[in-house]
C-alpha cells in the first residue's frame, strides 16, 4: 500500500539522497530492524552505538514511506492532553509521559548535530484555543503542566493578538519544541551506520517471520534468510500486519508548503509552531528555508486512490483556514501531499514485545502526532529490554495497557 499521496516536500527537496542495496545473501546479526524510516533509523543507531551488530531491511527505498510525508513537529506535547491522559492512566503516568517527551527534544537535537543538513532548529510551541468554550479545559491543562515543572506561559486573547497577530481566546506557550528534516536525518543515520559496518538494505521484502526461544528467522521474497538474536518491527502502520488484532486505527493527514516567505512577513512564525485544541487540529511551522508548512484536515481514509483524490481539496481548505488567521501571508501551496499514519486510543505509542510473538520480537509503534519524539524514547526503551534492564517507560508504553 502507498503511504503517501501528492508531492511530499522532503522528497521533492532532497531527492533520492543515497541508494542502498537489496539483501542478496543470507545474513546473521544481533538485532534485525524491519523498517527503514526515521523510527528504524533511530532504533538502529541506538543499538549500534552500544555495541550491537544491526541489520536494517526496508521494502521500499530508505525513508520513502511515511517519513517522507512527515511534517516533523518535534514536541513534548502529546495529542492527548496531560489532563485527559491523567484521567486514563493516572496523574503520575501522564507526567512521566510528558516529561520523557520533553527530555527527548534535546536528545534529538544532540543527535541531529552530529549529522549534516538535518535542518534541526529549536522553536516555541503555541497551543491555542480554537473556540471560547475550549478556554476552561486549556486553563486546566496549563495549571497541571505548570504544577509539574514544565516551562509554560499563559497567553490571554490580547497577548496572542499582540505577539502573534491572530485572534484566539487564549493559548499556552511552551518554549520546548523543535523542527527537523526527517528524511535527511534518517538518511544521515543510515549512511553513518553503513560506514560503521552495519547492513542497511532497501527494496527487500520480508514474507515470513519465525520466532524461537533463542532467536528470530526472517525470510525474504527472494529466498534469503536473515537470522538474528532479536527483531525490532519498525515498519510504521504496517506493523499491524504482524498482529492478529489491530491496536490502532489508520488515518490520513494532509499538508502543503509555500514558497519561501520574507522573514519580516513571516514574523513570529519563524520561531514558533502553532496548533489548536480542535480535533482534528490545524498546525503550522516554518521550514529552515523560510517556507510555511501547514497540515491538518485529518480523516479516516487510508485507501490510496481515495486519499489521492482529496489532496488538492484538503490543501485548499487548509489554506483558507490559515488565510483567515493571517490575511497578509502569501499562502499559495507550492507542493501538497497526504500521508497515512496510525493513531492509538490514548495517544501513546507501543514499544516492546507482544504476547503473540514472544520476547525476541520487539515492536516499535511510534504512533500519534509526535512519532519522532516517541521513536527517540522508544529506541532506548527497546535496547533496555533486549539487554534485560529496567526502563521507566516499559510499562506505560507496553501492550499490557490494552490487555
Helix (H) or strand (E) holding 53: none
What is the average pLDDT across 311-332? 94
Distance, CA of 98 to CA of 114 (rounded, Å): 26
Q: Is the pLDDT of residue 314 over 60?
A: yes
Residue 365: closest CA among 96, 101, 108, 40 = 40
pLDDT score, position 66:
86
Please give the share of the chain, as a percent, with pLDDT higher than 90.
87
Q: Please say whether the beta carbons of 18 and 36 come within 8 A.
A: no
What is 4-69+183-247+347-402's CATH superfamily? Answer: FAD/NAD(P)-binding domain (3.50.50.60)
Tell me whether residue 49 is exposed, middle or buried, using C-beta atoms within 10 angstroms of its C-beta: 0 to 12, 13 to 18, 19 or more: middle
What is the average pLDDT across 129-150? 98
Least confident among 10-19, 144-153, 345-354: 10-19
For the stretch 195-253, pLDDT in tens is 999 999 999 999 999 999 999 999 999 999 999 999 999 999 889 999 999 999 989 99
pLDDT score, position 7:
73
- Residue spans of the domains in the chain: they are 4-69+183-247+347-402, 249-343
- Percent of residues in the chain assigned helix, strand, coil, to nearest 5: 35, 25, 35
b (16+ CB within 10 A) / e for 248-280: bebbbbbbbbbeebeeeebbebbbbbbbbbeeb
When pLDDT is cut at 50, 70 and 90, the band that residue 340 belongs to is: confident
Least confident among 151-160, 178-187, 329-338: 329-338
pLDDT score, position 262:
95
For the stretch 260-294, pLDDT in tens is 999 999 999 999 999 999 999 999 999 999 999 99
Distance, CA of 339 to CA of 41 (rounded, Å): 19
CA 386 to chain centre: 23
Distance, CA of 181 to CA of 126 (rounded, Å): 20
What is the average pLDDT across 15-34? 95
The single residue listed with the C-alpha cell 502573534 is: 164
Neighbours of 53 (CB within 10 A): 16
Distance set, CA 232 to CA 34, 108, 183 (Å): 6, 20, 20
Amino acid at each position: 500500500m502507498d503511504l503517501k499521496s501528492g508531492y511530499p516536500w522532503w522528497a521533492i527537496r532532497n531527492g533520492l539522497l543515497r541508494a542502498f542495496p537489496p539483501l542478496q545473501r543470507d545474513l546473521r546479526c544481533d538485532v534485525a530492524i524491519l523498517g527503514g524510516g526515521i523510527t528504524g533509523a533511530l532504533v538502529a543507531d541506538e543499538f549500534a552505538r552500544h555495541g550491537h551488530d544491526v541489520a536494517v531491511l526496508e521494502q521500499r527505498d530508505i525513508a520513502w514511506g511515511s517519513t517522507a510525508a512527515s511534517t516533523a513537529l518535534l514536541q513534548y506535547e502529546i495529542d492527548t492532553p496531560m489532563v485527559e491522559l491523567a484521567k486514563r492512566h493516572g496523574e503520575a503516568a501522564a507526567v512521566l509521559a510528558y516529561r520523557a517527551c520533553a527530555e527527548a527534544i534535546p536528545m534529538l537535537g544532540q543527535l541531529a548535530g552530529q549529522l549534516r543538513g538535518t535542518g534541526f532548529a529549536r522553536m516555541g510551541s503555541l497551543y491555542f484555543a480554537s473556540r471560547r468554550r475550549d478556554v476552561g479545559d486549556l486553563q486546566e491543562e496549563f495549571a497541571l503542566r505548570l504544577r509539574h515543572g514544565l516551562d509554560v506561559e499563559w497567553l490571554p486573547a490580547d497577548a496572542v493578538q499582540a505577539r502573534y497577530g491572530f485572534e484566539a481566546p487564549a493559548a499556552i506557550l511552551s518554549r520546548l519544541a523543535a523542527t527537523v528534516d526527517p528524511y535527511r536525518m534518517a538518511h544521515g543515520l543510515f549512511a553513518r551506520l553503513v560506514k560503521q559496518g552495519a547492513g542497511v538494505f532497501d527494496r527487500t521484502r520480508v514474507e515470513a517471520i519465525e520466532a524461537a526461544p533463542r532467536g528470530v528467522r526472517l525470510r525474504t521474497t527472494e529466498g534469503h534468510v536473515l537470522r538474528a538474536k532479536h527483531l525490532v518491527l519498525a515498519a510504521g502502520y504496517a506493523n499491524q500486519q504482524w498482529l492478529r488484532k489491530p491496536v490502532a486505527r489508520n488515518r490520513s493527514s494532509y499538508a502543503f508548503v509555500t514558497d519561501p516567505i520574507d522573514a519580516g512577513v513571516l514574523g513570529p512564525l519563524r520561531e514558533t509552531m502553532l496548533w489548536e485544541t480542535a480535533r482534528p487540529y490545524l498546525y503550522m511551522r516554518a521550514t529552515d528555508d523560510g517556507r510555511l508548512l501547514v497540515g491538518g484536515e485529518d480523516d479516516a481514509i487510508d485507501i490510496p486512490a481515495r486519499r489521492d483524490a482529496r489532496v488538492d481539496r484538503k490543501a485548499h481548505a487548509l489554506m483558507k483556514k490559515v488565510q483567515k488567521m493571517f490575511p497578509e501571508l502569501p499562502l499559495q501551496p507550492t507542493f501538497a501531499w497526504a500521508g497515512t499514519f496510525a493513531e492509538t486510543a490514548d495517544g501513546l505509542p507501543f514499544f516492546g514485545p507482544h504476547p503473540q510473538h514472544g520476547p525476541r520480537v520487539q515492536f516499535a509503534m511510534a504512533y500519534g502526532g509526535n512519532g519522532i519524539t516517541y521513536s527517540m524514547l522508544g529506541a532506548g526503551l527497546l535496547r533496555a529490554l533486549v539487554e534485560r534492564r529496567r526502563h521507566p517507560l516499559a510499562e506505560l508504553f507496553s501492550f499490557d495497557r490494552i490487555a
